[in-house]
A and B are shown apart, each in its own frame.
Chain A
Amino acid sequence: MGTPRIYKTEAIVLRQRKMGEADRVLTLHTLTHGKLDAKAKGVRKTTSRMAGHLQPLNRCMVQLVQGRTMEIIAGCETLESFQPLREDLDRLSRALYAAELADRFLAERVEAVATYRLLQETLRHLQGDADVDLVLRRYEMKLLEHAGFRPELDRCLGCEVPMGPQRNFFSPMAGGTLCPSCGAGTAGSRMLSADGLKVLRLLQRASYKEIERLNIPPALAQEVERHQRSYIACVLERDVNAAAFVERLRREQQPLQI
């Protein structure tokens, strides 16, 4: 059964770009039709009734009309605006990173309900008391899993022995862990500490509730982030733009804390 010419669906606005005089093209992650581009007409005028409802990261109910090249947004209403994210630059930068990552992993017009719910849950948790970076790490792990790129963390990808509690290796190219003897000679593999492996495994199976209680030292958090970033860059074959901004904010915060 094809999609009707006019249909209604829930969607999270992932990103936007300007088009023409006063229009925007939005990338929507819809609940029922996956990721798709839709044109929002006249939303750059101050008199637009839709503009406020269609800001990136908003979750809204949209009415879409199939157009010649892309859907056109006929109407919309906010369901959840994640306001606390918009009032705090640290949270906002992480939320934008999450949205960009979803955009990059999703294929167009392929239903992805699990990813939708994951993003919605992640945006909610980024508003809360949990460490925003750990929330992102858990999000990355789950997103990789939904996209079919769950990294192997239990066995060595070279010789298949179970990973022991020692210094091992993580190889983005191989897609997971390598034991000390297999990892040492593999190009692109990086040292993975025993604690690092524990955290990675925990992120793979823990819920956000469990992550909220987690408190890990900065050096360990950095190690975990490095491994996940390099794995994601390897899967996507490119860097994630928003990561640079997150990095910059972190760097500029440093002197204030001393």
Chain B
Amino acid sequence: MNEHPTTAAAAPVARLIEEFHKLPGVGPKSAQRLTYYLLRMPAAEARALAEAILEVKERITFCSACQNVTDVNPCRICASDRRDRTMICVVEEPLDILALERSGSYQGLYHVLHGAISPMDGIGPEELKIEELLSRLRSEEVQEVILATNPNLEGEATAMYLTRLLRPLGPKVTRLASGLPVGGDLEYADDVTLSRALEGRQEAQG
């Protein structure tokens, strides 16, 4: 049973299984299933998938301003004249922009750090797009920087580090509020969340 399970398959099939196996969340069984699904797929569809993968790799770059993934540089948000250019919202990952855009409540610009400070994993500030953010602040008319890193240990560490760095440069530095999630139960909230929710309480509307 020491033999690798894919060696029984034809070489091109084994190769595809190996490639799928490298993807996040795809185990050996899922990799085999995906491969055999592709084998039965019409050639045109398989080609479309292959082309889509190539196109992503060839045409997508990072926006020179906000570091978001984009096919045009500067990206559509940075180039738009409908966005408020005095605000920059700093996020960890490009996916966070999608989430914020879905909410439809933010009209400013973004900046993607591509990660968060994680000292124990050896990820320091130099691994993130912080230098790029600083140079934007020096050259653009930014009045407020919103730190929208995740409300976990790494995100908080990153926010604190950025606060130290950005404060002396002039703009107002704010942090996303944290508190009770919509649809959550008070009794299950941890004390940090609860105390923050109390600190950030607002006059009731009604």
Residues of A within 8 A of B (CB): 15-17, 20-21, 46-47, 49, 51-53, 55-57, 78, 81, 83, 86-89, 92-93, 96-97, 99-100, 103, 241-242, 244-246, 248, 252
Contact = CB atoms under 8 A, between A and B. Distances in A.
B153 A89 contact: no
Given A244-B122, A245-B117, A78 B25 contact: no
Contacts of B164: 89, 252
A15 B120 contact: yes
B161 interface: yes
B185 A248 contact: no
Interface residues of B, number: 26
Interface stretch (B36-44, B64-72, B186-194): B186-194
Contacts of B192: 52, 55, 78, 81, 83, 86
B104 interface: no
A78 B190 contact: yes
B119 A49 contact: no
B124 to A, nearest CB: 5
B124 A245 contact: yes
A81 B191 contact: yes
A11 to B, nearest CB: 15
A242 B154 CA distance: 12
5 contacts: A17-B121, A55-B192, A92-B160, A93-B157, A96-B120
Nearest to B24: A20
B152 interface: yes
B156 interface: yes
Interface string B24-48: 0100000000000000000000000
Contacts of B188: 49
B171 interface: no
B153 A55 contact: yes
A83 B120 CA distance: 19
B183 interface: yes
A245 B156 contact: no
Interface of B: 25, 117, 119-122, 124-125, 152-153, 156-157, 160-161, 164, 181, 183-185, 188-193, 195
Contacts of B190: 52-53, 78, 81
B58 to A, nearest CB: 28
B205 to A, nearest CB: 22
Closest 5 CB pairs of A and B: A52-B190, A245-B119, A49-B188, A242-B119, A241-B122
Contact of A47 (B156, B161, B181): B181
Nearest to B178: A52
Contacts of B189: 52
A162 B33 CA distance: 70
A87 B117 CA distance: 15
Nearest to B194: A52
B119 A97 contact: yes
Contacts of A17: 121
A238 B25 CA distance: 30
A57, A86, A88, most chain B CB atoms within 10 A: A86
A99 B153 contact: no
A56 B156 CA distance: 12
B184 A47 contact: yes
A89 B157 contact: yes
A241 B153 contact: no
Contacts of A86: 153, 156, 192
A93 B119 contact: yes
Contact of A55 (B117, B152, B184): B152
